[in-house]
Amino acid sequence: MQHRVFGLVWRLVGWLDNHRYQPPQTANAESIDWWRVLPFVALHVALLALFWVGWSPFAIAFALLMYVVRMFAITGFYHRYFAHKTFQTSRVAQFIFALVGASAVQRGPLWWAAHHRGHHMHADQPQDIHSPHQHGLLWSHLGWFLSHANFKTQLDRVRELSRYRELCWLDRFDSLIPLAFALAIYALGEWLQVYAPALHTNGWQLIVWGFVVSTIALYHATFCVNSVAHLWGSRRYATRDHSRNNVLIAIFTLGEGWHNNHHHFPGSAKQGFYWWELDFTYYGLKLLAALGIIWQLKQVPLEVRNQHAIKAHASKGGQR
């Protein structure tokens, strides 16, 4: 009995401190860490609370705001900054946006960037851990990050980022940030219930809409870039992978759906290469640049952009 209690406590500590994590000796590349899956499942089950807390215009607007802000932190900073270094910023701004990104419950910036760099190294090859062509749609969408094998941060891929202690701290205790974020939302809702009753909201309603609903929407929108954007859409460039431009994904991910563009030239801060390709992340980055918060946004060279190796876009679902 004492051994079981100790084991349970150790697992709970492992949820908070990633350095405590030890995969079982029997774990393989496709084994799911069911213990660590529980919070992910619980978050989805928490959607049932919508029938209890109801809704208000403010709660829905707040959920949308939390979605957009945190999506921008993922797409603009986790992806285009930490993974690809498409612009420069200060250490303070780097940490602030890393904090916001961590609140999206997609692990720490080092873990995220390391896995994404691995994706570009082996895109749609057997070593690509979330390729739908190699491992299937469901695994590419969410199975890969729930597995034992992909839990650890591959620091050898992000050596220049691992010299920042604050980023290493975020990577080690990444679950503390969304917990604190959720508590702050609940406190805000309770405060608004007392001091702004006309908004018709409260702590539980705000946490369900502002955290649960917006986080799940963030999850599946960003996961679609790994899965759907390698299966359906158009191809402008003959990249060595199956990346595709998907306008619907681009809308929901603030511009990440121009995935074939991105794989053609990952070093660009702008993934919508043409004016009609909406890239709201890039517009946000331009605003930050105008404010002096970031600088030196890299662009795709004109001659690279015009290298249309595929003359006609492939039909949806077609191969290279």
pLDDT tens, per residue, the chain with 320 residues: 545 544 555 566 666 778 777 666 555 657 888 887 888 999 999 999 999 999 999 999 999 999 999 999 999 999 999 999 999 999 999 999 999 999 999 999 999 999 999 999 999 999 999 999 999 999 999 889 888 888 889 999 999 999 999 999 999 999 999 999 999 999 999 999 999 999 999 999 999 999 999 999 999 999 999 999 999 999 999 999 999 999 999 999 999 999 999 999 999 999 999 999 999 999 999 999 999 999 999 999 999 999 876 644 443 443 33
Please list the residues that pair with 245 across neighbouring strands.
Answer: 234, 258
Q: How far is CA 191 from CA 33, 73, 182, 214, 297, in A?
A: 38, 26, 14, 21, 40
Check residue 287 and give its pLDDT. 98
CA 154 to chain CA centroid, Å, is 17
Query: Angle at the Cα of 130 (from 254 to 100), degrees rounded to 5?
Result: 40
Distance, in Å, from the CA atom of 212 to the CA atom of 186, rounded to the nearest integer, reads 12
Q: Is residue 316 part of a domain?
A: no
Contact by Cβ (8 Å): 239, 251: no
Domain span including residue 227: 31-234
Distance, in Å, from the CA atom of 122 to the CA atom of 125, rounded to the nearest integer, reads 5
Q: Is residue 178 part of a domain?
A: yes
Q: Is residue 141 part of a domain?
A: yes
Q: Is residue 259 part of a domain?
A: no
3-class SS of residue 31? coil
Select from 200, 181, 239, 144 the least CA-distant residue to 43.
Answer: 181
Please list the residues that pair with 294 across neighbouring strands.
Answer: 89
Q: Is residue 293 part of a domain?
A: no
| 0.85 surpassed by pTM | yes
Contact by Cβ (8 Å): 222, 71: yes
Q: Is residue 297 part of a domain?
A: no
Q: Is residue 160 part of a domain?
A: yes
Q: What's the distance, Cα to Cα, between the start and end of the chain in Å?
A: 58
Q: Please count the structural domains in the chain.
A: 1
Q: Is residue 72 part of a domain?
A: yes
CA 193 to chain CA centroid, Å, is 32
Check residue 315 and give its pLDDT. 38
Check residue 17 and give its pLDDT. 79
